[in-house]
Amino acid sequence: MAQGMFETLDDVLTDCRNRLIRAPRDRKSPFHTPVIVTGDIDARVMVLRAFDSAAWRLRLHTDVRAPKAAAIAADPRAAVLFYDKGAKIQIRTRGHAEIITRGSEVDAAWAAGTNFARRCYLGDGPGTPSENPTSGLPPEFEGVEPDDAQLIPARENFALLRITLTAFDWLYLAHTGHVRAQFARSTADAAWEGRWVSP
């Protein structure tokens, strides 16, 4: 990727948007599995399921019993780190996180999953102690796909993690000299304001 592709802040903003649009659709995209950091300074890799390019909102899936759900309820600040080694681009973002358990968006996300994937929400909640190594799944579902009726209890544990981005820091690692830009917006519906900064 030539440095010339990033002559303006609008070029950078467009590139960021396009990478985020592609990430949920392409499992090979380096942005498909970003690092999510919650207010309790815990970090984890998660799968990016959707990106709303108008609202600049990320959507991921989670278990309502996961410790991060309680952390987000107590402190909605979140950071998301994306890194594409091949393109030499790092994007560090910050935003407002929320756990959504009800509504048409949650229902649609649940319906779009396979029964094999949805079985993850049947077992013990994330972080439940165990005497032995465990998947947390009920024994009858180890390697077995449950039917729709067996998954009814799992739906109660499924939630969306939505993160509305409010700031990001873009870094392009170029052998001719790194290039960096920062963007922020005062509210979720405000326009982005950008500036070039020294790497």
**SS3 at position 131:** coil
pLDDT of residue 101: 97
Is 108:128 a contact under the CB 8 Å cutoff?
no
The pLDDT assigned to 2 comes to 45
147, 165 in Cβ contact below 8 A?
A: no
The pair of three-digit structure tokens given for residue 63, joined into one six-digit string: 């278990």
- Domains in the chain with CATH codes: 3-114+158-197 (2.30.110.10)
Give residue 3's pLDDT: 52
Q: Is 30 helix (H, G, I), strand (E, B) or coil?
A: helix
Give the C-alpha separation, 85 to 95, whole Å: 23
Among 66, 114, 99, 90, residue whose Cα is nearest residue 178: 90
Residue 4: predicted pLDDT = 61
Nearest to 28 by CA among 70, 109, 84, 104: 84
pLDDT at 132: 92
Those residues whose C-beta lies under 8 Å from the C-beta of residue 92, and which sit 6 or more positions away, are 79, 80, 81, 82, 168, 169, 171
Query: What are the per-10-residue average pLDDT scores of the chain (199 residues)?
Result: 74 96 97 97 97 97 96 97 97 98 97 93 92 90 90 96 97 92 92 96
Q: What is the structure's pLDDT at 143? A: 85
Q: Which residues contact 16 (CB under 8 A, 6 or more apart)?
A: 91, 168, 170, 183
Residue 188: CA atoms inside 13 Å, Cβ hemisphere, count?
Answer: 14
First to last CA, the chain: 18
Within 13 Å of residue 149, how many CA atoms lie on the same side as its CB?
0
Task: Give SS3 for 9.
Answer: helix
What does the pLDDT read at residue 90? 97
- Give residue 1's pLDDT: 43
